[in-house]
A and B are shown apart, each in its own frame.
Chain A
Amino acid sequence: MSDLLTNLYHFFEIVRYPAGSALCLAGAILCVIGTIGVMRFPDFYTRMHAASITDTSGATVILIGMALMAPSWIIVAKLGTIFWLLFLTSPAASHAVVNAAHTAGLQPLIGRLGKKPDDEEGAA
């Protein structure tokens, strides 16, 4: 049993740096996707949705990747604190910005946008 545990530990030691790097890269790609969305979407409110990809999944995946590569448990605890802070503050910030826009009287675009509404309807 302890043999198995040691083997598992060694396996983890080998695997954690590649896995952590891959997760960091994936998080960076998610952030880029969020940015592409911010560029492409037509108005303020829809851009907020694209930005929330960067907030939630991008930051979370990068933090998990860094936690895998962390040299000690104390770093993992700190990364957990950062995650918790982001988790609590990012919706508050988004809500503040959107609420400010709504209070200022910015009207959102409503209804289907796009050139071919019948294309790939079932996929969404």
Chain B
Amino acid sequence: MAYFLGLLFALVAFWIGMSGHFEPLLLGLGAVSLGLTMILAYRLDILDREGVPYVRLVGFAMYFPWLMKEIIKANWTVIRACLRAELDIAPTLVKLKTTCTSDLAKVTFANSITLTPGTVTIEIDGDKLLVHGLYEQDSQPEAFIEMDRRSARAIDGKGAAA
């Protein structure tokens, strides 16, 4: 039920944000599309933790500014690497182990790594990740511990991260 209400609220906000009109015709069309979408979502059986991840929105809102800061720092490194006169990079492959338990938390962690310029997640298998890094010295497994801890706490909740 909470997932149902969450999806309804998100869809209403999305419709109003996209249209910006409040005439009865457009609101009625919106109501019809919302109803159809809800019925389809119910029939497809995707009203669950992954389909409606708004329950963890608070945790993610706490995680987001830190991720932005990391992205800006990493951007600076890669911009310097792009513009340096002498090409000076040391690409490497790293294997990581994540502490995230749920699939959603793993996706968050892997996507955070990919979003940060200079590191790309190549493969996820169970709790092991294969990461390609642009700089060997910046891509040691220790460098990802904090990101792993924070994404696990943001998505799995406080008890998940040891």
Contact = CB atoms under 8 A, between A and B. Distances in A.
B88 A124 contact: yes
A94 interface: yes
Nearest to B82: A37
A48 B120 contact: yes
Contact of A91 (B91, B115, B118): B115
Interface in A74-124: 74, 77-78, 81, 87-88, 90-92, 94-95, 98-99, 102, 108-117, 119-120, 123-124
A102 B125 CA distance: 14
B83 A36 contact: yes
B134 A46 contact: yes
A23 interface: no
Contact of B80 (A98, A115, A124): A124
Given A78-B18, A81-B18, A108-B91, A123 B115 contact: no
Contacts of A91: 110-112, 114-115
A18 interface: no
Interface string B1-25: 0000000000000100110100000
Interface size range on A against B: 35 or more
Q: Is the interface of A mostly helix, strand, loop or mixed?
A: helix
Contacts of B77: 124
A50 interface: yes
Interface string B23-64: 000000000000000000000000000000000000000000
B87 interface: yes
Contact of A124 (B81, B111, B117, B119): B81
A67 interface: no
Interface string B92-111: 11000000000000000011
A17 interface: no
Interface of B: 14, 17-18, 20, 71-72, 75, 77-84, 86-93, 110-112, 114-115, 117-123, 130, 132, 134-137
14 contacts: A41-B87, A48-B132, A52-B114, A74-B20, A81-B18, A88-B111, A94-B114, A102-B130, A113-B88, A119-B86, A119-B88, A120-B84, A124-B80, A124-B81
